Amino acid sequence: MVGSIDRPVRPDQPDPPDRPDRSERPKTPRDFDAKLAERLSTLTRASAYERLYARAQAQDAPFRERLAREESAEPKDSLSADKPDKPDKPERDLERPRTYWTEAPRFLAMWRDHAQKWPWTEHRKVEQPITSERWSEAADSVIDVYRAEPEISNAVRAAEVNNARRGWLEGFEFRLKSESRLLEKVAASLETSSPDSTAREITRQIPDAVRYTFCFRSGDYGAGYYDIKQRMEACGYQMYYSKNSWSNPEYKGINTRWITPQGQRFEVQFHSSESFHAKHHVTHQAYERLRNPQTSSRERIELSNFQQMVSSWISTPRDAARIADFKKEGF
For position 278, what pLDDT does the model report?
98
For position 166, what pLDDT does the model report?
94
For position 270, what pLDDT does the model report?
98
Which CATH architecture does the domain made up of 127-327 adopt?
2-Layer Sandwich (3.30)
pLDDT in tens, the chain (331 residues): 444 444 444 545 555 555 555 555 656 666 766 766 666 666 666 666 576 667 766 766 776 676 667 666 655 444 444 444 444 444 455 567 899 999 999 999 999 999 999 998 765 554 555 667 777 888 888 999 999 999 999 999 999 999 999 999 999 999 999 888 888 888 778 777 777 788 888 888 899 999 999 999 999 999 999 999 999 999 999 999 999 999 999 999 999 999 999 999 999 999 999 999 999 999 999 999 999 999 999 999 999 999 999 999 999 998 999 999 999 998 8
Q: What is the DSSP string of 158-188?
A: HHHHH-TT--EE--GGG-B--HHHHHHHHHH
Q: How far apart are CA 1 and CA 8, in angstroms?
A: 12
Q: How far apart are CA 14 and CA 24, in angstroms?
A: 13
Q: How far apart are CA 249 and CA 308, in angstroms?
A: 5
For position 78, what pLDDT does the model report?
41
Q: How far apart are CA 299 and CA 297, in angstroms?
A: 5
Whole-model pTM: value is: 0.69
Order the strands of the 211-215 sheet from edge to edge: 168-169, 211-215, 265-271, 254-259, 238-244, 326-327
Q: How far apart are CA 55 and CA 242, in angstroms?
A: 73
Q: Which residues pair with 327 in a beta bridge?
A: 241
Question: Dihedral of the CA atoms 145, 151, 156, 162 (nearest 10)?
Answer: 180
Q: How far apart are CA 289 and CA 281, in angstroms?
A: 15
Residue 111 to residues 124, 250, 274, 292, 328: CA-CA distances in angstroms? 23, 15, 17, 17, 38
SS3 category, 244: strand
For position 3, what pLDDT does the model report?
45
Question: Dihedral of the CA atoms 107, 112, 114, 119 (nearest 10)?
Answer: 150
Q: Yes or no: say if 233 and 297 are a contact pair by the CB < 8 Å rule.
A: no
- H or E element, residue 258: strand 254-259
Rounded to an integer, what is the distance from CA 39 to the centroid of its chain?
62
CB burial of residue 205 (10 Å; 0-12, 13-18, 19+): middle
- For residue 156, which phi and psi values (nearest 5 degrees)? -65, -45
Amino acid found at 80: S
Nearest C-alpha neighbor of 245 from the set 329, 156, 325, 126: 325
Give me the helix-helix angle, 284-291 and 297-312, nearest 10°: 150
